[in-house]
Each structure stands twice: as structure tokens, then as C-alpha cells.
Amino acid sequence: MLVARDLRKSFRGKEVIRGVSLSLGRGEVVGLLGPNGAGKTTLFNSLIGFVSLDGGSVELDGEEITHLPPHERAKRGIAFLPQEHTLFEDLTVIENLILFLEFFTDSREEAIAKAEAL
């Protein structure tokens, strides 16, 4: 079971996730609805580890995984498949990662560090 408790995240002073809690069973299919900019993608990215949280916790089968990097979460079975093909063919793999991560970090340096860690 994936359990998230009191998740919080802000970007440049704007709160995009405020106190979100949820429980998802293995194989359970759920829908997350909301208008553009409501924080749906940020929530998913925080569950898979692409976005570091300002507060709250994420557990998988009773194991605290809040601070695990995405590749460690993936080893445990947490993954995310984007709806559309979003890679830029003229960029290298690491350049694509940095570009993507810049949307979810506070600085380019943080995005580069996270991409290199992957």
C-alpha cells in the first residue's frame, strides 16, 4: 500500500500542494481530477521522487520512502508513465532530464545535481 500523509510543496513561494493525504492499494486504479495548475502533476512527481517535498511523508508497504531517490522507488514498484512522448531528440539523455527537472526544482544547479544522481 502506498500511503501519503500531509504532503506539502511550494514553488517560489506559491503553495501547490497543501496537506494532501491518500492511501492506494496495490493494483488499485484511481483518478485524480482538478483544473490546470491544481497540483496534480506535482503530486504524482512527489510520489515517485522527482519532486522533493517541503513536508509530509510517503510510505510504501510500511517503509518510509520520502527521501528515497526515484530509481530506488522504482525498484520498489513505484513508476509513472507520462501520457505523451516528451523527449527532445536533439538533446542528450542528461539534457532532457535537466530540462524536465528544472520545472520541479528551485534552481538549475539543483536540477543538474538530481539528473546526475539518476
21-39 mean pLDDT: 88
Q: If residue 84 lies in a helix (H) or strand (E), which one and from where to where?
A: none
Confidence of residue 72 (pLDDT cuts 50, 70, 90): confident
pLDDT of residue 85: 66
Can you spell out the DSSP letters for 9-42? EEETTEEEEEEEEEEE-TT--------TTSSHHH
pLDDT of residue 81: 61
Whether residue 90 has pLDDT greater than 90 = no
pLDDT of residue 102: 79
CA atoms within 13 A on the CB side of 62: 0
Same domain, 69 and 12: yes
- Dihedral angle at the C-alpha atoms of 76, 8, 117, 98, nearest 10 degrees? 120
Give the CATH number of the domain where residue 54 resides.
Answer: 3.40.50.300
Same domain, 59 and 27: yes
Q: What is the mean pLDDT of the chain?
A: 88
Which residue range forms the structural domain that includes residue 95? 82-118
